[in-house]
Amino acid sequence: MIRATINSLFERCINYKSSRFMMAWLLVGFFLMNNDAKGQDLKLWYNEPAKAWVEALPLGNSRLGAMVYGIPQREELQLNEETIWGGGPYRNDNPNALQALPEAQKLVFEGRTKEADKLVNQNFFTKMHGMPFQTAGSVILKFPGHETNSAYYRELDIDRAVALTRYNVDGVTYTRETFSSFVDNVIIMRITASKKGAVNFDLSYTKPAPFKVSAKNNVLVMEGKGASHEGIDAKIIYQMHSAVKTNDGKVSFTDSTLSVYGATVATLYISIGTNFIDYKTVGADYEKKAAAWLSAAMTKDYASAIKNHAAFYAKQFNRFKLDLGKNVEASKLPTTQRIINYRTTQDPSLVTLLAQFGRYLLISSSQPGGQAANLQGIWCNAMYPPWDSKYTININAEMNYWPAEVTNLSENHQPFIQMVKELSQSGRETAQVMYGADGWTAHHNTDIWRVTGPIDFAAAGMWPTGGAWVSQHLWEHYLYTGDKKYLADVYPAMKGSADFFLSALVKHPANGWMVVSPSVSPEQGPLSAGTTMDNQLVFDILTRTAEANKILGGDAAYRAKLLNMVKKLPPMQIGKHTQLQEWLEDKDDPKNEHRHVSHLYGLYPGDQVSPYTHPKLFEAARNSLVYRGDKATGWSIGWKVNLWARLLDGNHAYTIVNNMLTLAGGNNGDGRTYPNMFTAHPPFQIDGNFGLTAGVAEMILQSHDGAVHLLPAIPDIWKDGSVSGIVARGGFEISMTWKKGEVTEISVVSKLGGNLRLRAYNGLKAANLKPAKGANPNTFFTKPAIADPSVSDQASFKGAGLKTVYEYDLATKAGGRYVIFKK
């Protein structure tokens, strides 16, 4: 409301003849807006410009990303387009693998891992290790005379997906408002001055690679291309088009520059088009695409453009609201200082901001019809970023989508699901050429060209189980939506992954179990057979494909074949340190603090370890996590928040949240959150942001273990709070409040109907709410049986130490709304 009022006043002031009148109103507006900004919980704000990329503010509409520095005299908009990658369509299958496979398996079974490593490196890998995601370049705006300024302020409003920069020069207030439009598919910046005709700037391009610039039809055009890489020729070509509309200024061009002089309001439009068609094809008319988006956007008035953009975004962002409490004094500080002070303030609203910032990033980097968010989402300022900013599918790419369903962003899951469907096609050749197997496979890394052969080296990349992990997302989306038409569409990809393991698993000579070999426990060598994570992933893809087959009325004989293979898989095992073993052999080192905790996939994001039905496995998983320690890289911290939440230990999960909210950059190598709230590996990887968001949600609600568990891992410090629009499997959308750590009121919308089993630490009451009996009849909560092994030293197990729970059943109808209260 305040912002709308100020905008209206500003429009009136621009046309008013009295400059003193105009300045008076603007000072009032500045005061109100500044206080409005500082009082809002969903803003990142700063009192100085960005000095580095990890201080710039991210904008995105899934296709176009921008990092806004907010520098008064030299603004930089560092830009990305989701399909600007190095290389072009290619494959990286090594046909030598098939012949070498039996010998590699023999060496692994015999424990001759060094020889196996050498053989695999020579025969399974190629010189192609994935193509890099790359910057499109930057738009530079030079404002003469703005080096000396005052009253500086900049913000990212994640409630509107708009960045703002404001400052004074010689008594004139300058404001820049920028967004990457979800509706118009261009980036728009509006530059205004409180004094008539005071906007003057020059626009140019820069990029850390060759490019061409020309002026044509009042548009400044940059043409660039992706880079050739590892012997793969560059195939991506693109153009960036920039144009300006002014109300009263002049716009002129040289061959390399667009200049604006004497304007009061100038609106900049930036459009990018590439020749990308799909992962197999390039050749689109990139110039035509860029020109068409630019032309269409410039026909609309600014007020409508920003209103429509914000409305589109709000439909997704506003579904989920979170209140973990507030520290009013702490929240008045700039965001960087809030992060620095967090250890002292324990400001719960900063956790809320970081959690919601993760949702903002997912909305901004993953819309239906677009590419999946990569290792840096869509934000990358280099030609060769760390790890090429590819899709690392042994954890990182999957982690990007952990918050999608539970925080009510189901449609934002679609780009990842589409990527899995594409991998299921490209991976068929890999399965056949390298393993002589049916179905499809992928290893630990891929890129926009959907390569599925192994990447890097044996100790990291010899992992043919990537297809099994990404395929779990196909099933998870179904559990939340109940969409059988969708399930039928993705079933071939699930079946293809299951078929690979039906034909590629081999019998372990020591115990007769069917195992994946050669493989690794990511990303820890040496080469192994039957690692715990592999066994868990294969168990899931086989059982979930069997269940999908049943739901869709598929072939019962095939279903029986899948379930028969499940019986031959190695069970999870508990080792001499009372830990969940990471390998078949009991060789875990309790002093190993490796960032990967791959053997705990079965705890999270899997659902194979339950405190209620698998207490020994549950305790063993807990011991393994304790051994790994609480500190890690950013993404690993994100995983550990979720794992401790699944262990129902909210206070320990909160300890891990604290480890994330430490300032990264400068000399602080242990910091895990940059000033712009990007999380740090270091360097920046976006998966830490998404993992943290999912972890906070997992502390508040869980729905994997036969019931919808309310506040399963709420820490003592979040004693009072509320959430709305959080989603449980089975299609239940839940809103609730809590006081002193106990649920006080719950509102449930049942999208699919069926039995709702609620689990809580306090009693509940409502009409038709009955004490739960027997197994949950809701098929979305049905799980296959998992053995809970015995251990030699039972005295070492202290038990889960679980709180008493109350369980209730409520019969629901599709579309029904139900209100439940504390007893």
Structure token pair of residue 775: 């197994």
Fold type of domain 100-127+391-571 = Glycosyltransferase (1.50.10)
End-to-end CA distance of the chain: 39
Of 390, 467, 520, the residue nearest 120 (C-alpha): 520
Question: In the chain, where are the structural domains located?
Answer: 40-85+135-318, 100-127+391-571, 703-823
Question: What is the tens place of the pLDDT at every residue in 585-626?
Answer: 999 999 988 899 999 999 999 999 999 999 999 999 999 999
Question: What is the tens place of the pLDDT at every residue in 658-702?
Answer: 999 999 988 888 899 999 999 999 999 999 999 999 999 999 999
How far apart, in whole angstroms, are the C-alpha atoms of residue 566 and residue 539?
Answer: 6
In 740-797 the beta strands, taken as DSSP E runs, fall at 742-750, 754-760, 764-765, 769-771
What proportion of the chain, given as a percentage, has pLDDT over 90?
91
CATH value of 703-823 in 3.55.50.30, 2.60.40.1180, 3.10.20.310, 3.40.50.2000: 2.60.40.1180
Mean pLDDT over residues 247-273, rounded?
97
Per the listing, tokens 């043919």 go with 464
Structure token pair of residue 370: 């677009």
pLDDT attached to residue 669: 83
3-state secondary structure of 425: helix
Strands 708-710 and 754-760: parallel
Using CA of residue 470, residue 475, residue 477, residue 479, what is the dihedral sign?
Answer: negative
CA distances from 590 to 57, 419, 593 (A): 41, 37, 8
Whether 429 contacts 450, CB under 8 Å: no
Whether 454 contacts 125, CB under 8 Å: yes
- Per the rule left: phi > 0, alpha: psi between -120 and 50, beta: everything else, 605 is alpha
Those residues whose C-beta lies under 8 Å from the C-beta of residue 67, and which sit 6 or more positions away, are 53, 56, 57, 58, 59, 76, 77, 78, 79, 379, 381
Q: Where residue 41 falls among pLDDT bands split at 50, 70, 90?
A: confident
Does residue 102 carry a pLDDT above 70? yes
pLDDT attached to residue 666: 81
Structure token pair of residue 362: 């997912």
Q: Where residue 40 falls among pLDDT bands split at 50, 70, 90?
A: low
What does pLDDT average to over the chain? 94
16-25, 270-279, 782-791, range with greatest mean pLDDT:
270-279
Q: Where residue 791 falls among pLDDT bands split at 50, 70, 90?
A: low
Structure token pair of residue 701: 């609600």
Span of 26-40, 165-179, 362-376, 537-551 with lowest mean pLDDT = 26-40
Question: How open is the CA angle 191-38-718, to the nearest 5 degrees?
Answer: 135
Mean pLDDT over residues 262-278, rounded?
98
Structure token pair of residue 622: 């807990």
CA distances from 196 to 11, 74, 97, 250, 435 (A): 12, 21, 70, 13, 71
pLDDT attached to residue 665: 87
**212, amino acid identity:** K
Does residue 793 carry a pLDDT above 70? no
Question: What is the tens place of the pLDDT at every residue in 52-67?
Answer: 999 999 999 999 999 9
Of 574, 567, 571, 569, the residue nearest 617 (C-alpha): 574
pLDDT attached to residue 27: 40
Burial of 257 (0-12, 13-18, 19+ CB in 10 A): middle
Does residue 24 carry a pLDDT above 80? no
Longest alpha-carbon distance in the chain: 91
Strand partners, 188: 179, 269
Global pTM?
Answer: 0.94
Question: What is the tens place of the pLDDT at every residue in 417-438?
Answer: 999 999 999 999 999 999 999 9
3-state secondary structure of 641: helix
Question: What is the tens place of the pLDDT at every residue in 462-499?
Answer: 999 999 999 999 999 999 999 999 999 999 999 999 99
Per the listing, tokens 């700039």 go with 334
Does residue 800 carry a pLDDT above 90? no
Question: What is the tens place of the pLDDT at every residue in 386-397?
Answer: 999 999 999 999
Does residue 18 carry a pLDDT above 60? no
Phi, psi of 189 (to 5 degrees): -125, 130
Fold type of domain 40-85+135-318 = Beta-galactosidase; Chain A, domain 5 (2.70.98)
Those residues whose C-beta lies under 8 Å from the C-beta of residue 367, and which sit 6 or more positions away, are 61, 62, 63, 182, 411, 412, 415
pLDDT attached to residue 525: 82
Whether 541 contacts 550, CB under 8 Å: no
pLDDT attached to residue 10: 42
CA distances from 664 to 54, 69, 340, 354 (A): 9, 18, 10, 14
Of 224, 219, 220, the residue nearest 238 (C-alpha): 224
DSSP label at residue 89: S
Whether 2 contacts 36, CB under 8 Å: yes
Strand partners, 271: 241
